Amino acid sequence: MAPRSVSSNIDYYEADSLFNDISNRLRSRMPRFDEDRLRNAYELAISAHDGQLRKDGSPYILHPLEVAEICMDLEMDADSIIAAILHDVVEDTSVRLNQIRQLFGNDVANMVDSLTKIKKIDFFARFTGRNKASNQARNLQKLFVAMTNDYRVIVIKIADRLHNMKTLGSMPDHKRIRISRETLEFYIPIARRLGLGTVTSELEDLVFQYLYPEEYATLKKQVSTYFHEHEQKIQEMVNTTRSLLEKNGIKVASIYGRSKHLWSIHQKMEVQGVGIDGIYDLLAIRIVIAGVELDCYRVLGLVHSRWQPIFERFRDFVASPKENGYQTLHTTVIGPGGSWVECQIRTENMDYESRQGIAAHWSYKEKPQLARIVKDESWLEFIRELSEDDVNSEEFVARTRESLHGDQVLVLSPRGEVVNLPAGATPVDFAYYIHTNLGHSIRGAKVNGNHVPLNYELRNGDVVEVIKAREDNAAPRPEFLMMVKSPKSMLKIRKYFKAASRDERINAGRTLLRQLITGQGLYPLNLMANDKLALLLKTMKVRSIDEMYQKIAIGEFDTSTIIAELKKIHKLRVEQGPKQKSGEPERQTRKVSLLSGVGYELGLQLTGGQLMRNRAEIRSCCTPVPGDKLYGVHNRADRIVYVHRLDCPKLQHDLRDGSLVEVEWSSQVEDKRYPARIRVHSLNRVGLLFEVLRFLSENRINLGGAEFSSSPSAFAADEMATFDLTVEVADVHELKQVMEVIMKIEDVYGVDRALPEEPATEPEKGA
């Protein structure tokens, strides 16, 4: 091989020593690897970086070699080690990617190319809300897509970040803080997701050291003192436990005492609001056995037979692994001297995987097949699906970040399959995790054998059973978008609506917006009146209300922003309404909001089934709902059809200015709700109105208006009460049920449909 081409006076003795160590370690693990190829990579890197120094004054070549050594600790393959050594040459030197491709092949070149692109991304800008969003988001999207094809890229990058964190001391304070926050927000969650336990713990403690130096120093001293004080007792427990296990035929690979990681302790103190004295499990022993999973439970029984367990702190991550594949039994016992000690019980294989994570599944003879890496396949599949979906880069990054952060919940299928979901997940999330079609078809669920609502929040250990729709081609309901917690579930539902017909998307978006408004305790017909939606459109990049509904269904519009804008519009309209005259008594009343729009959109049709395209208004005087017989009055001057119940006294009044039109309810009125006024007659006692309103609230019946009045009773000084309520119902049948239940409330003696009083007849001329 050609002699090294360097022109500087830098001493490369330390670099040569480090490279020889890497080469020897790789040879001991892979006797047949191409040593010349590895040395060529080293010589190219040392030549390319010749003369470059790091901030601390050391030769720059030491950095890629240290990164390669971390990759060696993770037992990565020879191509990964070569890529780690070369990961900065394309960015920082005159070496070109084609040169690397010719010398070391496509795999190494592709990894170096991806690592070079990653370096150009300002992760911190994306994750802290600084500007520069879209270009960085596009690059970050490319990174995640590349990671699903070859996860070695991100593992090398995490190794690079770990070495950078170890050498942050020479950086100015502001850079140390920025890089540490970036590491906490992005690299640590990915390292944890990939199961890189050792690397994650190192990164966390380094971040703690730089972000909170005073708290770090104080806690480090406290923990060191505490562990030193209890060291003898912990060693006594280790010796006693080892003897107990060996006496019962359990082969112990290793058993040792350890203190919790500082960052973990700090997080507990923050969450629980306590000092170090309030953390009871600072001490731990780890028991690694040369056996199988079943032996872990034997060890658990023996430990509990010797030390008193604290059962509420038991965690079984063997039967129900964490999403990153972590498997260990955690139990807390009262050890010598009354100290709480956490015992972690695992096999040698579990111990190896808890440290190496995804790297433990590496096959050195071939490129990794992600389908075989079961523990991370679900998350990587989500990233793949998200990259294939037509979402903008900012949403891609947001969804990916959501999938990285947050707690998890472990639930079981009826067959015992363990399913890992985000905390707060529902049976709908569970169904979509199992299969997309099962998610679309879910109509009910049982948890632990009991029926639960679809928005039930699952808990650890729940056994979930899905009740499917009867039809084969069932579609997701719009409200599923409100119920799911998992970004993957959300993605699948939106993908369905993107492929659905225009009418389906419009209906889904309208229904979702209405239900979200209802969920906030608001009245949809107030906020979703056409005149208010028309004002809303002026602030949005859409041409019609229907287009807005479509974009809501496929997730292109943020519904919370839309509702906030509608609230502002509604508030402004109310404030601009007629003012109460001075001296006029205040009435506790709210008028029924007008329900107007194109006839067929309101669920109306002309008698005989003909589509009603006229503008119509369902009158507030009689509040007709589906099931009521109707008549319409076509007011040609106003170009509108006023719709009344057949028995409405004001029907004749409207006929003076228009002609009669026979209208009826369309059969296509699903998912629509209408205001209906009812009149409640009762004794006027304290708490009666509250009972009525509580019933409406518990049954999620919207209250659109109320008017209260009272009058003296003929029997005593008590008063009789009458109050008109406007409730939102689907049809006459639901309205009847509401009225029947209110009638059962004590002291209510009558409930009926409210109608206006007969209009006074005009006196005849000459009378």
Contact between residue 466 and residue 430 where contact means Cβ atoms under 8 Å apart: yes
DSSP string, 374-426: HHHHHHHHHHHHHHHS---HHHHHHHHHHHHSS-EEEEE-TT--EEEEETT--
d(CA 687, CA 692): 9
Cβ count within 10 A of residue 315: 16
Structure tokens, 380: 């990587």
Catalytic residue among 36, 69, 75, 91: 91
Nearest to residue 643, comparing CAs of 618, 661, 666, 665? 618
92 is catalytic: yes
Structure-token match 């006692």, residue found = 685
- Greatest Cα-to-Cα distance within the chain, rounded to the nearest angstrom: 125
d(CA 609, CA 704): 30
Nearest to residue 553, comparing CAs of 616, 631, 501? 501
d(CA 468, CA 428): 11
Phi, then psi, of 640 in degrees rounded to 5:
-150, 150
Q: Is 315 helix (H, G, I), strand (E, B) or coil?
A: strand
d(CA 164, CA 739): 70
Distances (CA, A) of 271 to 31, 249, 281, 315, 487: 50, 41, 15, 20, 26
Q: Using only C-alpha atoms, what is the Rg of the chain? A: 35
Long-range contacts of 597-605 (CB under 8 A, 24+ apart): 597/530, 599/641, 599/663, 600/666, 602/672, 603/665, 603/666, 603/668, 603/669, 603/672, 604/630, 604/643, 604/663, 604/664, 604/665, 604/666, 605/663, 605/664, 605/665, 605/666
Please give the DSSP secondary-structure letter assigned to residue 313.
G
How far the first Cα of the chain sits from its last, in Å, is 125
Please give the DSSP secondary-structure letter assigned to residue 466.
E
Q: Which helix (H) or strand (E) holds 512?
A: helix 502-519
Cβ count within 10 A of residue 547: 17
56 is catalytic: no
Contact between residue 108 and residue 118 where contact means Cβ atoms under 8 Å apart: no
Catalytic residue among 36, 50, 56, 92: 92
Residue 339's region, left for phi above 0, alpha for psi from -120 to 50, else beta, is beta
**How many helices and strands in the chain, by DSSP H and E?**
31, 23
Q: Is 308 helix (H, G, I), strand (E, B) or coil?
A: strand
Strand order across the 659-661 sheet: 595-598, 615-618, 640-645, 630-635, 659-661
Q: Which helix (H) or strand (E) holds 359?
A: none
Structure-token match 């070369």, residue found = 86
Contact between residue 664 and residue 695 where contact means Cβ atoms under 8 Å apart: no
DSSP string, 222-276: HHHHHHHHHHHHHHHHHHHHHHHHHHTTPPEEEEEEEEPPHHHHHHHHHHHT--G
Active-site positions?
91-92
